[in-house]
Chain A
Amino acid sequence: MKTMNNAVIETRPQFVLERSDFNRLIEILHEKGYQVLGPRLRDGAIVYDELESGGDLPAGWTDEQDGGTYRLKKRNDEAIFGYAVGPHSWKKFLHPPQVRLWKARRKDLKIEVAQEEQPVSKKAFIGVRSCELHAIAIQDRVFLQGPYQDPFYKLRRQNAFIVAVNCGQAGGTCFCVSMRTGPKVTDGFDLSLTEVLEDVRHYFVVESGTELGAEVLAALPHNAANEKEKTSAEEVVKNTAAHMGRAMDITDIKGLLYRNYEHPRWENVAARCLTCGNCTMVCPTCFCMTVEDTTDLEGEHAERWQKWDSCFTTDFSYIHGGSVRSTAKARYRQWMTHKLATWIDQFGISGCVGCGRCITWCPVGIDLTEETAAIRGSEAPGRKEDPHGNGNT
């Protein structure tokens, strides 16, 4: 299993893969028995789905993103990774929206429970961004590093081959630089690519992060990268880092939110929030789920399903007699405070990777960078030293 450890920064040998040889990568992964998943155009967006061949990649397409809007645009080059992140994240493959956990059958007077067999399918992810690698690492903490492991998640995770990509373009709602999660891929991949487009040449600077990655690279036509090629790749990442669509000041973010539970801004955002739950669905780190039991009409067969849940539903906080978070204010505050502050207490890390999906895919464009800035901006000087941290003035 790959881990995300920023403390170890090694210089890996870099190679060059020409664009004309790139499609071979998908073929090799198919030959090795992987289902290859990656970006492709569908329904007006670049989504993650199965790739039959390199021809399925969104060559020459990009996206324009802002709060509540996403539009596909033609590029004036043939870049295949020339877009930011879209509506899907890799979560849908590693932590699928619906999973049957077990089924049971009544037999005579007994109940027979059949454990669900999880099919071991090898999946290769093409085009995983740095923020997404950090998101996967966060879900690893949730599902694998706590007192209980999710065996199904573990299996899916172990069977994933990750081809990471250094972003060549920042999206309108991206803020990975603020969250220190990108755009440079550092760890947690089998292969990493930087797409370089020059006047007449289109190539990738490639690094392998695992033995398996090196094995796949060895099967591809490649050369050692020269200094010029390495510099070009570095420039790509630097340029992306310099063009983030959003920024978030995370200085003492935990303290800031803990001090401001009763800030009037929560009422303001609640007036806009639809409590529809879209932000939690598109978030690559949101992991909440519910368990649903079903029966058939005869009462002979029962199933237990695990499904994505959202803290924006009233059922989510329903305990005997009612929902604890009955207002939109309570639910939005819970979500944002968990993501940016209490997550740190819970998992030792922020729950936000700065991918910007919650901003783009919020139907009314609510922007958590704007919400945190509004709360921060209104804090009177000296209030930060409030020793009780209860936010009351």
Chain B
Amino acid sequence: MARRGKPKLAVWKFASCDGCQLTLLDCEDELLALAGELEIANFPEASRAVVKGPYDLSLVEGSVTTPHDAERIHQVRRASKFLVTIGACATSGGIQALRNFRDVKEFISIVYATPSYIETLRTSTPIADHVPVDFELRGCPINKQQLVEVISAFLNGRKPNTPRHSVCLECKQREQVCVMVARGIPCLGPVTQAGCGALCPGYNRGCYGCYGPMETPNTRSLSGWWGRLGVKEQELVRAFRSFNAAAEPFRRESELHER
């Protein structure tokens, strides 16, 4: 494909642990090809050299947790032609969205010596709550192959192959034995979106729901079955309240089991 100049790539960080943007550096085999096809214009984790915008492709990591970030995301949107959010923080608010269920002011008063220095929002919210997002790549952290797939799809003008069905389809296609059926281990796989390659069930552990709710999650039914496996209400709250606690179907389910 004859491309006019290399598309400019920018990587942005909001409230996050950096694990998702590190996935880009972790693409060891593809890194040279990536650098050949894209101009890495703004990626402070990789290089101090920053090229001015606008950018053709922006990867946004992290959630919005401060008034400053709530402003900054609009600047990022304005500077980006195509904006892709990466990871659980950017797509659902991340683990820090646990604050959404409590009074953040109370936390601040307990944790910080001088609470008045802290300027933070009451909730942690996904990027799509603030600006239009062109594509969301899920996961905590995101999967390297899926990131390459999304970038490759962007470069070649096609839709990325990142299905929104359950983890179970991946698990079965990898010929793994269902940990919930064969061992009675509670697993979030049936309500969680695929993308990780059913990693945890492959190691005889239940799915933790890192990729957030699948397209049509029936959390109510799964919770009922977990109850039969001996899982207590408080444990159900914690299971649905992790990396994707604020994703709507998981938030609703966790609240049903509170108290």
Q: Which residues of A contact B (CB under 8 A)?
A: 42-45, 47, 68-72, 87-88, 92, 97-98, 271-278, 281-282, 292-299, 307-308, 310, 312-315, 328, 360-361, 363-365
Q: Which residues of A contact B174 (CB under 8 A)?
A: 97
Shortest beta-carbon distance, A39 to chain B, in Å? 13
Is B222 part of the binding interface, using a Cβ–Cβ cutoff of 8 Å?
yes
CB < 8 Å neighbour of B33 from A47, A296, A308, A310: A296
- Do A273 and B175 touch (CB < 8 A)? no
Chain B residues 193 to 249 lying within 8 A of chain A, measured CB to CB, are 204, 214-218, 220-222, 224-225
Question: Interface residues of B: mostly helix, strand, loop or mixed?
Answer: helix
Of A43, A70, A276, A308, the contact of B176 (CB 8 Å cutoff): A43
Q: Is B177 in contact with A87, judged by CB distance below 8 angstroms?
A: yes
The 27 listed contacts between A and B (C-beta, < 8 Å) are A68-B181, A87-B178, A97-B175, A98-B173, A271-B218, A271-B221, A272-B218, A273-B221, A274-B217, A275-B218, A276-B190, A277-B168, A278-B178, A281-B169, A281-B172, A281-B173, A282-B172, A292-B161, A297-B33, A297-B148, A297-B151, A298-B33, A307-B173, A310-B169, A314-B215, A315-B164, A363-B180
Those 3 A-B pairs whose CB atoms lie nearest each other, nearest first = A281-B172, A276-B190, A97-B173
How far apart sit A10 and B174, CA to CA, in the bound complex (Å)? 40
- One of A43, A92, A295, A297 near B158 (C-beta < 8 A): A295
The distance in angstroms between the C-alpha atoms of A296 and B174, with both chains bound, is 23
Question: Is there contact, CB below 8 Å, between A274 and B177?
Answer: no
* A299 and B156 within 8 A (CB): yes
Tell me the complex Cα distance, A70–B161, Å. Answer: 33
Residue of A nearest to B1 (CB): A299
A44 B177 Cβ-Cβ under 8 A: yes
A393 to B155 CA separation, bound complex (whole angstroms): 56
Contacts of B164 in A (CB 8 A): 313-315
* Known contacts A308-B173, A314-B216; is-contact A295 B152 (Cβ 8 Å): yes
Complex alpha-carbon distance, A97 and B158, angstroms: 24
With an 8 A cutoff between CB atoms, is B98 at the interface? Answer: no
When distances are taken between beta carbons in the complex, the residues of chain A under 8 Å from B190 are 274, 276, 278, 363-364
Asked if B128 is at the interface (CB within 8 A of a chain A CB), the reply is no
* Chain A, Cβ-Cβ closest to B34: A297
Q: Which residue of B lies closest to A277 (CB)?
A: B169
Distance of B182 from chain A, by nearest CB (Å)? 4
Assuming A308-B169, A315-B165, A364-B222, what are 7 further A-B pairs, CB within 8 angstroms? A43-B182, A272-B221, A276-B166, A278-B172, A292-B161, A296-B33, A363-B222
Cβ contact within 8 Å between B177 and A47: yes
Inter-subunit contact A313/B155 (CB<8 Å) = no
Tell me whether B175 and A68 are in contact (CB under 8 A). Answer: no
Whether the Cβ atoms of A315 and B163 lie closer than 8 Å is yes
Residues of B within 8 A of A69 (CB): 181, 184
- Indicate whether B187 reaches chain A with its CB closer than 8 angstroms: yes
Q: 0/1 per residue, B15-41, Cβ < 8 Å to A? A: 000000000000000100110110000
Q: Across the interface, do B181 and A361 meet the contact criterion of CB distance under 8 Å?
A: yes
**Does the CB pair A274–B224 fall under 8 Å?**
no
Q: Is B149 an interface residue (CB 8 A)?
A: yes
* Least Cβ–Cβ distance between A170 and chain B, in angstroms: 19
Which residue on chain B has the smallest CB distance to residue A290? B163
Q: Is the CB of B225 within 8 A of A68?
A: yes
What is the bound-complex CA distance between A297 and B37, given in angstroms? 7
